[in-house]
Structure 1
């Protein structure tokens, strides 16, 4: 029986999926292990008492990841929805694991709101995200793993990340002794405000010197969001005067229709360059954006804005399915 770890903090949780080495590159089919621990706490004393146990669970999982293989380790901050149930039902862990051959740790915050945008909850989750990243930095300082590390923030998960950068002293708290904590930081379908984003994205250099923001001007979910709020970062590439100089903006408009959740390869409409881009950045590898992008840029594009070119004509090995199988079970007995 494979088990999944779910650890709830004050406003957030940490959801950990482990991908066994034998699940990839082999005809042997193995399931994911799933351990479930739920701490649904609201009192400071309870959180203080549980924190060492939560950190121990995270440390153990990161150690399992790094000792079992050299696969990249991804920290995933999800968007709005009934999580973690939504990701389990959509098999987000399976998609990311099998599409990119990575080990996967989800930061799960209180994001369920059927007809609203839980912005205040996303902002309240920021201190817990910082706790997790501090634990990751301490683990890397102590264990010196060879794995590449990736941070993926999707949709309203980018609001959690933005709020984290507004916490006083957050950069000093991440006392990582090497160059950067993450090999890549990727923002997809970003539901953060486009206006003023350069200030907080500029601070992400503490996390990585390779930052990527995807833009789809036809994003259906962000269409709805813009109906209530201002321009969304994942839908509108910024004017030249308002770009974050430390980030690369990757325009997917015209390649993926109105898709919001574009990182699963099944949602990439067989576009080879889209697949190659995500294959690189979601594994912490280098990507040559000029090779994947249109040669002539519109005059409104800043130098760090790239529009990927269409590449659907020929079959691509990028979409070749990885061998392996995962079966997810979820046990919430601690709430019964």
Structure 2
């Protein structure tokens, strides 16, 4: 347990950082994004993406890291190893959400009145799924305005059973690209047990609480697994993530396709 002195008051280091972040958000009028990364990311990769979010979407970023195999390591062994590590990180993520919730309560008189949203990318959604299905989950995610599940590396089948457990303040988004090369490879490489992935499948979109957004036909998206970054030249793509990351209504102005139960980005 690390303690620091702040204004002559002894605080946990995490609480001191929370107060600094809260002050920055208040003075700069910036919203905050909590980021849970995916498979095959080392700490350097995660920090670089967090910096990209800050620079391009105008948000403060808080990162939750878990021990994924970074450095370009690929293959079945590495993938399965990361899935195990994601499962083992459930309690740490839950504890982080609990701490944040307590800090919001303890320091509500100095609230910054900015939005706070959560984005999970790729296998980060598998970690989140395991939290949702765990007995330790008690609705701590209600502290987030928007929750964004981007390129989710989880089964599409029966996803609504755990997705509809997710607590949030405003909106829950599931972002899809049918041509996502990483998710297509994930499905093909790991056999029958690896069903269609939620982040690349436009059928069975049955959650009562999620808003589905399909990027498949959007310019510059192509086979990207990280289209919030790779396709940022497409104003429509950037606008959707800009709104989602900043606690706004991302689907506003998009075409709704009833047969798919999803909004489309072009």
Gaps of at least 5 residues in structure 1 are 1-49, 311-336
Q: Does the Cα contact within 8 Å between 1:155 and 1:188 map onto a contact in 2?
A: yes
> Which structure is richer in relative contact order (CA contacts within 8 A, separation 6 or more)?
1
Gaps of at least 5 residues in structure 2 are 5-10
Match of 2:159 in 1: 197
Q: Quick one: distance in 2 between partners of 1:215 and 1:82?
A: 21
Q: How many residues align?
A: 241
Matched, 1:140 2:96: no
| Cα displacement (A) at 1:182 | 0.5
| Cα displacement (A) at 1:197 | 0.9
* TM-score of the two chains, using structure 1 as the length reference: 0.67
**Superposed CA offset, 1:168-190 (max 9, x none):** 14216x3x9xxx31010001010
The residue matched to 2:203 in structure 1 has which SS? Answer: coil
Quick one: which of 195, 213, 223 aligns to 2:174?
Answer: 213
Runs of 4+ in 1 over 4 A off after TM superposition: none
Q: Does the Cα contact within 8 Å between 1:188 and 1:213 map onto a contact in 2?
A: yes
| Cα displacement (A) at 1:108 | 0.5
Q: Quick one: distance in 2 between partners of 1:121 and 1:68?
A: 33
Q: Quick one: distance in 1 between partners of 2:209 and 2:243?
A: 18
| Cα displacement (A) at 1:124 | 0.9
**Superposed CA offset, 1:131-180 (max 9, x none):** 110011111111122221111100000011011112214216x3x9xxx3
The structure whose Rg is larger is 1
Match of 1:93 in 2: 50
* TM-score of the two chains, using structure 2 as the length reference: 0.84
Q: Quick one: distance in 2 between partners of 1:166 and 1:298?
A: 29
Q: Does the Cα contact within 8 Å between 2:146 and 2:170 map onto a contact in 1?
A: yes
Quick one: which of 198, 219, 230 aligns to 2:195?
Answer: 230
Q: Quick one: distance in 2 between partners of 1:105 and 1:126?
A: 17
Quick one: which of 242, 262, 267 aligns to 2:227?
Answer: 262
The 5 A counterparts of 1:1-336 are 50=1, 56-70=12-26, 71-88=30-47, 91-112=48-69, 114-115=74-75, 116-117=78-79, 118-144=82-108, 145=111, 146-171=113-138, 174=140, 180-204=142-166, 206-227=167-188, 228=190, 229-239=194-204, 243-255=206-218, 256-264=221-229, 267-268=230-231, 270-287=233-250, 289-293=251-255, 297=257, 299=259, 301-302=260-261, 305-308=262-265, 310=266
Q: Quick one: distance in 2 between partners of 1:135 and 1:203?
A: 20
| Cα displacement (A) at 1:290 | 4.9
Q: Quick one: distance in 1 between partners of 2:187 and 2:136?
A: 32
